[in-house]
């Protein structure tokens, strides 16, 4: 597939999930998203209303992080937080699975949690992304989560929060893509800070990239395009 600069920008969820992020930081995030035409701003749920107002009238989504970054809340809490985000203007949801239940291999719990979250999002016509936090999981656990997602059908499965012990790897992106099937996409996030890593994740099967380095990545790509005299890259 061939990608233009805008195609690459539309793969990026432009991210600021820092606990001490100010309103000025959120304005900067949204302004950069508008300038570069990123797909989404990825923010903590409490910022949903503010960012939705900043992005009003654009095609850039407001993506709320739910039960972030640990995932250690009940299903009822995750649903309530999601409803609040949606009421306040969020139109994409990224939630963290209950890792205690994953490590206990309580797959029925995980399937029920995922089903309820996906159903709520889809009832509101909003994409749902399921964060695995792969750094804490074995390959077998990643595969099993992906197989559950294949049945439940969230819009995306996502590697990481960026707040764990490690972020996305090409190996994990490939493993997730191999097991979720053609109807579920993969989002790579966590530690993707340069253009080479960005392109490697896309080549591995990621169709969305969460990063706080989107501006640097796109500017570097623009320089490469100009230097090589091209207007697209095939991956």
Q: How would you label 74-93 residue by residue, b for 16+ Cβ within 10 Å and e otherwise?
A: ebeebbebbebbbebbbbbb
122-181: per-residue pLDDT in tens?
A: 999 999 999 999 999 999 999 999 999 999 999 999 999 999 999 999 999 999 999 999
Nearest CA to 9 out of 42, 54, 39 is that of 39
The pLDDT score that the predictor gives to residue 79 is 98
Q: Which helix (H) or strand (E) holds 185?
A: strand 185-189
**Is this structure's pTM higher than 0.95?**
yes
What is the average per-residue pLDDT within 70-96?
98
Residues that are catalytic: 94, 158, 187
- Long-range contact pairs involving 26-35 (C-beta distance under 8 Å, separation at least 24): 26/50, 26/51, 26/54, 27/54, 30/54, 30/55, 30/60, 32/214, 32/215, 33/60, 34/58, 34/60
Rounded to a whole number of angstroms, the CA Rg of the chain reads 17
The pLDDT score that the predictor gives to residue 235 is 95
> What is the residue-averaged pLDDT of the chain?
98
The pLDDT score that the predictor gives to residue 117 is 98
Cis bond upstream, residue 166 (ω within 30): no
Residue holding tokens 């990608």? 3
- Strand segments (E) across 34-100: 40-44, 61-66, 92-96
173-230: per-residue pLDDT in tens?
A: 999 999 999 999 999 999 999 999 999 999 999 999 999 999 999 999 999 999 999 9
């Amino acid at each position: 597939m061939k990608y233009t600069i805008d195609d690459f920008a539309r793969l990026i969820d432009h991210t600021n999930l820092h606990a001490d992020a100010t309103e000025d930081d959120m304005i900067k995030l949204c302004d950069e998203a508008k300038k570069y035409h990123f797909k989404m701003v990825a923010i903590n749920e409490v910022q949903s209303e503010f960012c939705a107002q900043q992005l009003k009238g654009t095609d850039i989504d407001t993506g709320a992080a739910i039960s972030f970054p640990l995932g250690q809340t009940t299903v009822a809490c995750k649903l309530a937080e999601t409803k609040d985000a949606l009421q306040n203007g969020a139109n994409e949801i990224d939630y963290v699975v209950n890792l205690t239940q994953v490590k206990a291999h309580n797959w029925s719990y995980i399937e029920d949690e995922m089903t309820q979250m996906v159903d709520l999002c889809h009832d509101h016509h909003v994409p749902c992304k399921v964060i695995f936090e792969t750094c804490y999981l074995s390959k077998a656990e990643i595969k099993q989560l992906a197989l559950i997602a294949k049945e439940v059908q969230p819009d995306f499965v996502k590697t990481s929060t960026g707040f764990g012990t490690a972020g996305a790897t090409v190996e994990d992106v490939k493993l997730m893509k191999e097991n979720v099937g053609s109807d579920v996409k993969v989002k790579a996030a966590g530690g993707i800070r340069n253009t080479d890593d960005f392109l490697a994740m896309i080549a591995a099967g990621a169709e969305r990239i969460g990063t706080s380095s989107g501006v640097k990545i796109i500017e570097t790509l623009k320089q490469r395009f100009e230097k090589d005299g091209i207007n697209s890259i095939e991956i």
